[in-house]
Amino acid sequence: MWQWHSSLELYAFPKIGQLDVGDIAMAHVLDVLEPIWRTKTETASRVRGRIELILSWADKRAESERLNPARWRGHLDTQLPAPTKVRKPKHHAALPVSEASSFMSSLRRQEGSGARALEFVVLTAARSGEVRFATWPEIGFKSRTWTVPAERMKSGREHRVPLSPAAVSLLESISLVDDSDVIFQAPRGGVLSDMSFVAVCRRMGADCVPHGFRSTFRDWCAEHTSVAREVAEMALAHAIGNEVEAAYRRGDLFEKRRALRDEWSLFLQADAPAAPSGRSARRISLTK
């Protein structure tokens, strides 16, 4: 939900935040969207959808029968070009599966919190924002589990991430910082910037971006394992099937995802060298 609030706070609230819901018309919605529709198309499309949902909820509560001014079909699509027509989708540069092990070998030799956070990104196939804001209370060392709260998940639902022995060892090598629960600290304290991951990739000369490691993991699942599609998709915190299928599959396939994550870790460790000097910090024993 933090993504919802931040995008609306940045783009919508300055234009329509002070208006009564019933007074918001198509012109107001266009005032929000037009400045970013061609330059930040994906973000603008999401903002439009979020405005539509909020207005729909408000109209239902007010028992209003008006047509939603933020609806797309037959309405805003007559005023704005389709997102697919603005520009071609840009895919995240991903590391080939064949290079993943050697990349990890080089990454482990890099110094700094950004390198350790990126290593955790690769081991868990998590999104960078989930890792940057990760805190110690979210880690269960005994259960080898990282519980990401709903507000930091794209899906808006809490997500349990099984931690491989390599991921646990990485966490145990990190020293606690007084007065902060943030695991991967920026050099001057606080949360790492998203660019810190990019900087590590550039320093290593790698032609990839942090988010692309999720694609690398998914390709590995398809090419090197016989794991079921739903297990691989749940490992990436993707929605599975339609609403009916999701209703019947109430579990999160956690143990199957744990086995998959452990296998991924072993694959990445194939070329792993010994940990660099300074890597062995005091071990910690937090429980959850």
**How many of the other CB atoms lie within 10 Å of CB of 71?**
18
Beta bridge partners of 140: 145
Task: Decide if pLDDT at 43 tops 70.
Answer: yes
pTM: 0.64
For 41-46, what is the mean pLDDT? 87
Query: Where in the chain are all domains bearing CATH 1.10.150.130?
Result: 2-86
Q: Which of 6-15, 89-98, 178-187 has the lowest mean pLDDT?
A: 89-98
Let me know: does 113 contact 192? Beta carbons within 8 Å.
Answer: yes
Segment 44-81, tens digit of pLDDT: 899 999 999 999 999 899 888 899 999 999 999 999 99
Q: Which of 37-46, 178-187, 274-283 has the lowest mean pLDDT?
A: 274-283
> Mean of the per-residue pLDDT values for the chain?
84
How large is the C-alpha radius of gyration of the chain?
22
**CATH placement of domain 97-271:** 1.10.443
* The predicted structure's pLDDT at residue 145: 97
Quick one: tokens of 211? 């988010």
* The predicted structure's pLDDT at residue 88: 55
In whole angstroms, what is the distance from residue 262 CA to residue 68 CA? 48
CATH class, 2-86 region: mainly alpha
In whole angstroms, what is the distance from residue 230 CA to residue 238 CA? 9
For 249-267, what is the mean pLDDT? 87
Could you tell me what percent of the chain has a pLDDT over 90? 50
- Round to the nearest angstrom and report the end-to-end CA distance of the chain: 24
Quick one: tokens of 5? 């609030």
Beta bridge partners of 135: 182
Segment 92-145, tens digit of pLDDT: 578 889 999 999 999 999 999 999 999 999 999 999 999 999 999 999 999 999
Query: Where in the chain are all domains bearing CATH 1.10.443?
Result: 97-271
